[in-house]
Amino acid sequence: MCYVIVTCRSMLWTLLSVIIVLMHVAALLSPQWLLGKEDVVLNGVTPSSNNRQNSTTTVQYRNTETFVPTMGILTRCKQIYTARSEYNYVTCSYYGSFGDLPSGLWKTMLVFYCFGLFILCVIGLGSILSLCVRSVCKKSIFTLSGFIQAVAGLLILISLVFYPAGWGSSRAEELCGDTAAPFQPGDCSMGWAFYVSIAATILTFACSVLSVQAEIATSVDDIQDEIDKGKHLICIV
C-alpha cells in the first residue's frame, strides 16, 4: 500500500534537491564563467569614396556597442568580423569535442563536475519518490540520499578547485591577457555562472544536513496514527 507523506521539512528537502540540480545545469551550460575586458563593437562599416591623392579609405561606423567576450566550461562567446560583412556580430558556441577544452585541468574539472551532477540528478528523482517511498533496501531514503548528496557536493567542490587552476592555459591568456595564471584571472573577472555553481554547492551540503531533519519529520508517531486511521495522503507540519 502506498502512502503519500508530506511534511514541511521533507518537502523543503525535495524542493531544494531539485533546485540544486537546475542551478548546476544552468551554470554548466552557461558561457558566463570567465568575463574578458569590455570591447567596443563597431557595427555597420561602410567605406566612403577613395581619396586619389593619398589613396586612403575613410570608414564610417553607423553605431557602436559594447561587448564582453566570455568563456564557459562548455561554451564561449566571441566577436566575429569578416571583411566582406558590413556587421560585426557575436556568436556563442559549444566546444566541438572533449579534446577542444582549453585546459587539461578543465577536462578533469568537467569529469568531476558531471559525475557529481549525475549523482544529484538521481537524488533529485529519489527526493520526489520519497513522498511515497520511505526506505530503500531497509535503509531510510532520506539519510541514504543525504549521504550521497554530501559525496556529490564534495566531487563538485573538487572540480571548482580545478577550474581556477586552469586559468594559465593559452586560451585563457588570449581572453585575460598575459598576466593570467593559475588562480590569477589577470584582466578577467568572474561571471554569474561561477557564483551560481558555488551557491549550489553550498546548498548541496545544506540539503545533506536537511535530509536528517526530513527523516525525523516523517518518523513521528502522528504519521503512524494517520496511517492507522486509513488515510493515504498525510500532511503534517
> Residues 131, 149: one domain?
yes
Domain with 83 in it: 39-94
Same domain, 61 and 113: no
Residues 44 and 139 in one domain: no
pLDDT tens by residue, 32-77: 999 888 776 655 443 443 444 444 444 444 556 677 888 888 888 7
Same domain for 107 and 77:
no
Q: What confidence tier does 150 reach under pLDDT thresholds 50, 70, 90? A: very high
C-alpha cell at 84: 566582406
Question: What is the phi-psi region of residue 71: left when phi exceeds 0, alpha when psi lies from -120 to 50, beta otherwise?
Answer: beta
Q: Count CB atoms within 10 A of the CB of residue 3.
A: 15
- Measure the CA–CA gap between 194 and 217, rounded to whole angstroms: 34
Round to whole Å and give the CA distance between 26 and 3.
34
pLDDT at 78 (0 to 100): 72
Percent of the chain with pLDDT over 70: 71
Contact partners, residue 75, CB within 8 Å, separation at least 6: 29, 30, 31, 92, 93, 94, 95
Strands 233-236 vs 4-7: parallel, antiparallel or unpaired: parallel
User: What is the average pLDDT score of the chain?
Assistant: 78
Residue 121 reports pLDDT greater than 80: yes
193 and 134 housed in the same domain: yes
pTM beyond cutoff 0.75: yes
